[in-house]
Structure 1
Amino acid sequence: MSDQHGKSHENESHENESHENASGKGKRGNTDAARIAALRPAYRRDLAAGTGRFFAAPSETCPWCGSDRLVTRLRTTDLLQHKPGRFTLDRCAGCDHTFQNPRLTEEGLEFYYRDFYDGLGEQRMSGTFGGRTAMYRGRAEAMAAHDPTPKAWLDVGTGHGHFCAAARSVLPGTSFDGLDFTDGVELAAREGRVDHAYRGAFPALAPELAARYDVVSMFHYLEHSTDPDRELRAAHEALRPGGHLLIEVPDPESRYARLLGRWWLPWLQPQHLHFMPVAGLRRRLTELGYTVVAEQHAEAHDPVDLLAAVWLALDHTAPREDAPWLPEPPGAVRRAARTAVLLAGVPALLTATLLDRFAVRPLAQRLGLCNAYRLAARRE
């Protein structure tokens, strides 16, 4: 958020706090309850016939290499929004690619993304992403060794444009554009975080962006894509010859993926559709006319695995908080029980945070615990 926008929210927060002190009831809580109640009928209609139409037919072959040697790697539920549905990740024994199977349909993608990054979830996600400036600067600095002065940079899957805003301090002479499906990219343009906003599918927009960019970045974007190969081809089209593609994705070969099972945050079902081992992605980039010039693991690691696992387990155990996809709002007893469970978990959350940041992080690459990797590839 820009300072001006952020201050308006701060003022709103202080006003709500004062109102709570005066009346014992939070204005924001009332507003959220009203928004949820208003959305509940639409979700009830969406779920009346079950979740079957949200899933395509199961695939019998790997979408990455075509092999039919598939094994089930994980079965789970939606552990973040707790929308109904069960999700399966299969692994290809031929190339180690892991993918959601059956995959979500267009209706399913719309249903499970709704109110996560926008709508009810917009303020929460904007706050989450807006507070990661050091990580964003590190991503921009990763390009310095390969192109210290790029003129034009396209960030694909930019969300609200927080990376672009932070990267300007590293590369003040670079023009940053953003591309995304959601209206967050338009907000990013209005707030001045991106110079130009493109809303839509990257493969469809790539022809009008042909050879326009020195850098195309995809930070935790490919795993959301229904067809990662098309996205890589689109990047090749948008890049100038000699330009660079910068990719960051979850690492399915992380030991945490096995040790934590369904509680490993990067599985992020049902939104993450593909998980590419680094060797497979390097091969595909080479086949498409790129030269991989850098591979980073420790630099891409986000030290939150244990904290996130504890939180997901606590949140799963506690009674649900109100959401429009629930038949009715929880009563006072369930709300009190949820509060009690979460408070009881505070010591575990604090311990997990300390372990993530101070015990595991320095050794993450040596122990094979990095939860993501980053590749820089030059378009030849």
Structure 2
Amino acid sequence: MSDARDRTARIAALRPAYRADLAAGTDRFFAPGRTTCPWCASARLTPRLHTGDLLQHKPGRFTLDRCTDCGHVFQNPPLTPEGLEFYYRDFYDGLGEQRMSGTFGGRTAMYRGRAEAMLPHDPAPKTWLDVGTGHGHFCETARTVLPDTSFDGLDFTDGVELAARAGRVAHAHRGAFPDLAPKLAARYDVVSMFHYLEHSTDPDRELRAAHGAVRPGGHLLIEVPDPESRYARLLGRWWLPWLQPQHLHFMPVANLRRRLGELGFTVVAEQHAEAHDPVDLLAAVWLALDHAAPREDAPWFPGPPGPLRRALRTALLLSGVPALLAATALDRFAVRPLSHRLGVSNAYRLVARRD
């Protein structure tokens, strides 16, 4: 009860600032739309998806376009710096910090699998930089696989500093990777980017920064959502990896392999089933239920919900429990073993050696 009262008080304290942000609408959060593909410069673009913010329910409508020449999918129009700040605020930090820390902290098996992906290529790296590390939970788990490796973390939020204070990373680098990369030149045996590139406003700049930070002969480990997954088509806007408005770029694997080669990397491993996170059906059911239910309290809404709306939300979510349980079973036991064969793996992983 005390946690609930504390959260209610924090929401009430934040509401005036959000009200001021939204007083003039959301137009200032969007830059002018692009007429060419940011990956290959083709002008052959077609709308791929129209959706809202299905997780925080902040106001705004978002469009993903697809390049018909190279298959790159990207947010268009893109967010301005003010828009990025607005839509990220209280998701990973602030109001959302405790929830997201708990979510990421409970994914030990996934983190072990990511670290183990490096073993065939470098079984004992001395130094590893995890870019977009958040609160450093991957690094903490990866040390159980690679106990002699020193893990550093990089992020633009204060989560990386919390990770250093908690001992999850040896050194915390806070800021934008391309800006920090010159100071990190050829320092690391491994640089990892797990579900980071899709958040970047300029993925190519991030890849060039990674090339500079990896020593010659070292490795870059990348994991991103797979826009060619069949689930992306079958589930539409309920496919969790679309994650609008935070995910800005979706790269087909052939595009990313080609760009890595141009930068001076050799791809030594490509994984799909191993990178798959079996949550697609569960997430789709939850997103649909959450979208249909009355909103819970948040500072970007005009005011808190009354008792009737709270009761209706609780009743609807409880009625959806059987569907959530069925979706979980299908995700984990029916689809997961066949994810790559069925073409529904929601992510792919590349290991690339710097030549």
Distance 1:198 1:164 in 2: 14
Alignment of 1:145-224 (within 5 A): 145-224=120-199
Alpha-carbon displacement from aligned partner over 1:106-149 (angstroms, at most 9, x marks no partner): 00000000000000000000000000011001100000000001
Structure 1 residue 187: Cα displacement: 0.1
For the pair 1:277 / 2:213, whether they are aligned, the reply is no
Using the TM superposition, give the Cα deviation of residue 236 of structure 1 relative to its aligned residue in structure 2, in angstroms. Answer: 0.4
1:97 matched to 2:72: yes
**Residue 375 (str. 1) matches residue 350 (str. 2):** yes
Counterpart of 1:229 in structure 2 is 204
Task: State the 4+ residue runs in structure 1 displaced beyond 4 angstroms.
Answer: none
State the partner residue of 2:36.
61
- In the alignment, does 2:298 pair up with 1:323? yes
Report the residue type matching 2:258 in the other structure: R
CA distance in 2 between counterparts of 1:217 and 1:165 reads 14
Q: Which amino acid aligns with 1:178?
A: G
Structure 2: distance between partners of 1:157 and 1:165: 14
1:73 aligns with 2:48: yes
Name the residue aligned to 1:3: none
The one-character-per-residue Cα deviations of 1:7-27 (angstroms, maximum 9, x if unpaired) are: xxxxxxxxxxxxxxxxxxx11
Letter in 2 for 1:347: P
Match status 1:260 vs 2:235: yes
TM-score in terms of structure 2 length: 1.00
The answer to whether the aligner puts 1:120 opposite 2:95 as a matched pair is: yes
**1:213-245, CA deviations, whole angstroms, 9 ceiling, x for partnerless residues?**
000000000000000000000000001000100
Distance 1:61 1:40 in 2: 38
Whether 2:24 is the aligned partner of 1:49: answer yes
The one-letter amino acid of 1:237's match is: G
Q: Separation in 2 of the partners of 1:190 and 1:309?
A: 36
Stretches of structure 1 that go unaligned for 5 or more consecutive residues are 1-25
TM-score, structure 1 as length reference: 0.93
In structure 2, what is the Cα distance between the partners aligned to 1:238 and 1:362? 36
Separation (CA, whole Å) in 2 of partners of 1:133 and 1:347: 27
| 1:194 alignment partner, SS class | coil
Equivalent AA in structure 2 for residue 270 of structure 1: P
Any idea what SS the aligned residue of 1:136 has? helix
Matched residues, number:
355
State the one-letter code of the partner of 1:309. A
Q: Which whole-Å CA distance do the structure 2 matches of 1:91 and 1:230 have between them?
A: 21
Secondary structure of the structure 1 residue equivalent to 2:109: helix
Q: State the partner residue of 1:83.
A: 58
Shift of 1:28: 1.0
Partners of 2:16 and 2:270 in 1: CA distance:
48
Aligned residue identity for 1:243:
G
Opposite residue 145 of structure 2, the aligned amino acid is: V
The alpha-carbon deviation at position 301 of structure 1 amounts to: 0.1
Match of 1:300 among 260, 268, 275: 275
Quote the Cα distance in structure 2 between the aligned partners of 1:344 and 1:360: 24
